[in-house]
């Protein structure tokens, strides 16, 4: 599907798997707060490796081991282990959707401890960690790279693997709406659907279902949204924030806030949007989106994070007003 990675890189990745005895230990890891692309690509490849006969495949992610509700019916969940139980020095490690080893949190030490590490990713901010780099910034999702690898390994695409990769692809293309939604993306979607998937069921479960408490929480958080039409050189910045107290009052898990940015970024009067999600007393996980003119990856990188040109994030410390001021300043610096 993609021919932007060098043949050498592909053959190194294929050899890393093919030359491994079937009783070798394999650890698959994806980034903290896994989204659909991270967890879907990881589980899809995990199921593929199992189909190839590998008997000791673990999949894991850092932080709380609970699988976010939208992904609790993905195939392959039995591959998951809490990071505390992840093998310390796997024969092979594969990393998914993480641009830097730090995004793997407490699993980052396996990158060097492993016999070899193959990285599957699509971030332009990829730091180059790991040994074999299947990293294609032109790919719409890590799942695009994952599917190609499975194909090259001779794995038959079954409905279970396809469902994992479909969820990944739909997540990172914003349901086939974003920039990177090329003809190849639709061709891949067609290939995945042809295994017998029911897209309406899958997408309702994954994207269009949330608890009543989350609906009320969204109402409250959206009602405090701020707009500054003068920011970003007059193109406008819109932002809101959600605190741990908001979550507690509505009895919700942090992951229900992941799609919040989609409700904020539709603001017509702003080119750039951001959502601050509190993770500790003075700590925020910041999501940013741009409609095109502004490079939010540059903003995120300047503030210690990363991502894509139109979707990026970072961890911030301090008060909401200070974090927003830092973003504003960075947006102005960029022009």
First to last CA, the chain: 36
State which of positions 108-137 bind ligand 5GP (CB under 6 A).
Answer: 123
Q: For Cα atoms 64, 69, 75, give the angle at the middle one, nearest 5 degrees.
A: 100
Contacts of residue 106, defined as CB under 8 A and 6 or more positions apart, other chains included, come to 62, 83
Q: Closer CB to ligand 5GP, residue 236 or residue 306?
A: 306
Contacts of residue 269, defined as CB under 8 A and 6 or more positions apart, other chains included, come to 227, 229, 236, 238
Among 25, 41, 83, 100, binds ligand 5GP (CB under 6 A): 100
Q: What is the 3-state secondary structure (H, E, C) of 58-125?
A: EEECCCCCCCCHHHCCCCCHHHECCHHHCCCCCCEEEEECCCCHHHHHHHCHHHHHCCEEEEEECCCC
The interface partner of residue 37, options being ligand 5GP, Mn ion, none and the CB cut-off 5 to 8 Å by kind, is Mn ion
C-alpha distances out from residue 166 to 38, 118, 169, 262, 301, Å:
12, 22, 5, 20, 29
Compute how many other C-beta atoms are within 10 angstroms of the C-beta atom of residue 214. Answer: 21
Q: Closer CB to ligand 5GP, residue 10 or residue 314?
A: 314
Closest residue to ligand 5GP, judged by C-beta, is: 313
Alpha-carbon dihedral angle through residues 39, 40, 44, 49, given to the nearest 10 degrees: -10
Site string for ligand 5GP, 283-322 (x = CB under 6 A): ----x-----------------xxxx--xxxxx-------
Among 172, 278, 307, 331, binds Mn ion (CB under 5 A): 172
Question: Shortest approach of ligand 5GP to residue 306 CB, angstroms?
Answer: 3
Which of the ranges 54-62, 77-85, 136-144, 320-328 carries the binding residues for Mn ion, by CB under 5 A? 136-144
99 touches ligand 5GP (CB under 6 A):
yes
Task: Report CA 19 to chain centroid distance, whole Å.
Answer: 29
The interface partner of residue 100, options being ligand 5GP, Mn ion, none and the CB cut-off 5 to 8 Å by kind, is ligand 5GP
Question: Shortest approach of Mn ion to residue 291 CB, angstroms?
Answer: 19
Q: Whole-angstrom Cα distance, residue 6 to residue 150?
A: 16
State which of positions 50-109 bind Mn ion (CB under 5 A).
Answer: 97
Question: Shortest approach of ligand 5GP to residue 34 CB, angstroms?
Answer: 10
CB 255 within 8 A of CB 33: yes
Q: Closer CB to ligand 5GP, residue 76 or residue 313?
A: 313
Among 37, 91, 147, 148, binds Mn ion (CB under 5 A): 37
Q: Closer CB to ligand 5GP, residue 104 or residue 161?
A: 104
Residues that bind ligand 5GP (CB under 6 A): 99-100, 103, 123, 261, 287, 305-308, 311-315
């Amino acid at each position: 599907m993609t021919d932007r990675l060098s043949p050498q890189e592909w053959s190194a990745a294929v050899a890393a798997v093919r030359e491994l005895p079937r009783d070798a230990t394999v650890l698959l890891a994806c980034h903290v707060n896994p989204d659909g692309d991270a967890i879907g690509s990881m589980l899809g490849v995990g199921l593929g490796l199992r189909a190839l006969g590998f008997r000791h495949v673990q999949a894991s992610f850092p932080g709380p081991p609970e699988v976010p509700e939208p992904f609790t019916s993905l195939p392959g969940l039995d591959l998951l282990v809490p990071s505390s139980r992840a093998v310390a020095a796997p024969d092979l490690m594969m990393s998914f959707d993480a641009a830097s080893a730090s995004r793997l949190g407490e699993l980052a030490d396996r990158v060097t401890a492993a016999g070899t590490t193959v990285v599957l990713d699509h971030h332009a901010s990829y730091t180059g960690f790991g040994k074999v780099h299947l990293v294609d910034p032109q790919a719409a999702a890590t799942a695009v790279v994952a599917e190609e690898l499975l194909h090259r390994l001779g794995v038959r695409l079954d409905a279970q693997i396809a469902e994992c990769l479909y969820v990944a692809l739909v997540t990172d293309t914003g349901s086939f709406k974003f920039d990177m939604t090329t003809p190849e993306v639709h061709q891949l979607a067609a290939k995945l659907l042809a295994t017998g998937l029911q897209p309406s069921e899958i997408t309702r479960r994954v994207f269009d279902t949330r608890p009543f408490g989350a609906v009320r929480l969204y109402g409250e958080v959206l009602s405090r949204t701020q707009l500054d039409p003068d920011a970003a050189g007059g193109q406008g910045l819109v932002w809101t924030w959600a605190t741990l107290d908001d979550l507690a009052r509505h009895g919700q898990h942090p992951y229900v806030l992941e799609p919040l940015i989609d409700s904020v970024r539709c603001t017509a009067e702003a080119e750039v949007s951001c959502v601050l999600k509190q993770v500790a007393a003075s700590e925020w996980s910041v999501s940013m989106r741009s409609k095109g003119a502004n490079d939010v990856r540059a903003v995120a990188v300047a503030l210690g994070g990363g991502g894509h040109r139109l979707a990026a994030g970072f961890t911030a410390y301090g008060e909401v007003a200070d974090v927003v001021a830092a973003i504003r300043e960075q947006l102005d610096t960029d022009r």
